[in-house]
Homo-oligomer: A and B are copies of this chain.
Amino acid sequence: MTDKAYALFEERQRARGIDLNVVREKLKSLAIETPSWGFGDSGTRFKVFRNGKAARTPYEKLEDAAEVHRLTGCCPSVAIHIPWDKTDSYGKLRSHAESLGVKIGAVNPNLFQEEEYMLGSVTNANAAIRRKATDHLLECVAIAKETGSKDLSLWFPDGTNYPGQGDIRARKVWMLEALKEVYAALTPDMRVLIEYKFFEPAFYHTDLVDWGMAFQLANKLGPQAQVLVDTGHHAPCTNVEHIVAYLLDECRLGGFHFNSRKYADDDLIVGAINPYELFLIFYQILDASADADPAVRGTVDAIAYMIDQSHNIEPKIEAAIRSVLNVQTQYAKALLIDREEVRAAQSEQDVLGAEDAVRKAFEFDVSPLLESIREEMGLPLDPMRAYKEGSYAERVGRRG
């Protein structure tokens, strides 16, 4: 059925004037970074459920990530978390990754798991704790040099729980001071990706609460500083794709942490709650990729697509595969938008025509396209089934 389905798909898209060669190339080069911590156990404040099947060591996590890449063909790198992935030799870790066919991606410092950070890390009122936090960031830059990582993903848990608890403007200054040191330690090919978050673990004010604060911080640091959009880190009802478009236009979007939310930072599988939003994010990205300004196009090309989820109840590897498939699916759909049609309707002020030109791409079934590409790339047509029926799943089943 696959061939027939693809033939029909091709016929239909060609009739619309879509160049499937371009679409296929873009899809084949889509790279989605998986996070090492996505393969370990995680939970809510109420409970971390453990069935003993999740990866425990950095080495095991890389193996799981490599399996996801082997099956999907689009996860060539793995983000690490320090100290969760701390090891005595990052060279060895890097070699291990490479031997598995993946490389080490973004390095993620951790500024929330030591007692000293209770009232803040780089924005702590205590200078010694700020020093310690900044040193950890610098340590992560050093690790990135060893692992060959180009991106440092910075998420700060810093904030306060009560009015008056902290000096909001002093903390702003301290944040900049710490980041300036980190920025100075980068090599010219490295970037800091600055993440913001609406709330949690701080419940009154969060030092980097929104894209605007992350953006201004990046502006102050320099061209190697960019904003990282975590799709779950916004106020209710926020139009995320608008922020994406804005940051691209300012050449300040560095990457994504993909996940789904319905309420807060729920960290569910990306594309599982509101797939249309994911599609619309890609629509903005693809729109910017055709911009007249090469700087905007270059920003699009350098976007780091990363998954960052908390698999509380899901088997970890399947959850990663599902996430990757969902991203691929929505990216593929966005590639089917007829940009000319959209632009024409927009300039004719044809509201419903423009809406239709975008939405109808979402309504196509792209599975024949994805299967055809997998076939071409020598990948299993159904990566999820291949995983479940494969020997790796069996090995994981024997863990614990």
Contact = CB atoms under 8 A, between A and B. Distances in A.
Nearest to A160: B351
Interface in A120-137: 125-126
Contacts of A199: 237, 262-264, 266
Contact of A276 (B5, B239, B274): B274
Contacts of A12: 1, 5
Contact of A364 (B318, B362, B365): B365
A143 to B, nearest CB: 21
A287 interface: yes
A117 B329 CA distance: 33
Given A118-B313, A203-B262, A157 B46 contact: yes
Interface string A157-173: 10001111111110010
Which 5 A-B pairs have CB atoms at the shortest separation, nearest pair first? A212-B212, A164-B358, A235-B235, A203-B266, A365-B365
Interface string A273-293: 111110010011001100100
Contacts of A246: 168-169, 172, 213
Given A166-B346, A201-B47, A216 B250 contact: yes
A263 B51 contact: no
Given A280-B163, A314-B351, A113 B47 contact: yes
Contact of A363 (B239, B248, B329): B329
A208 B329 CA distance: 31
Contacts of A241: 163, 205
Most chain B CB atoms below 10 A, which of A5, A47, A367: A47
B236 A125 contact: no
Contact of A351 (B11, B51, B119, B284): B119
Nearest to A318: B352
A185 B113 CA distance: 44
Most chain B CB atoms below 10 A, which of A8, A46, A164, A284: A164
A97 interface: no
Interface size class of A (residues with CB under 8 A): 35 or more
Contacts of A203: 261-263, 266-268
B355 A312 contact: no
Interface of A: 1, 4-5, 8, 11-12, 15, 42-47, 49-51, 112-113, 115, 117-119, 125-126, 157, 161-169, 172, 198-201, 203-205, 209-213, 215-216, 234-239, 241-242, 245-246, 248-250, 261-264, 266-269, 272-277, 280, 283-284, 287-288, 291, 310, 312-315, 318-319, 322, 329, 342-343, 345-347, 349, 351-352, 354-359, 362-365, 367, 384
Nearest to A124: B349
Given A169-B246, A204-B239, A322-B355, 16 more contacts: A1-B15, A164-B342, A164-B346, A164-B358, A165-B351, A165-B354, A168-B242, A198-B263, A199-B263, A204-B262, A235-B236, A237-B263, A264-B264, A275-B359, A276-B276, A315-B352
Nearest to A345: B164
Given A165-B354, A283-B163, A355-B272, A237 B212 contact: no
Contacts of A163: 241, 272-273, 276, 280, 283, 355, 358-359
Contacts of A245: 168-169, 172
Contact of A8 (B5, B161, B212, B351): B5
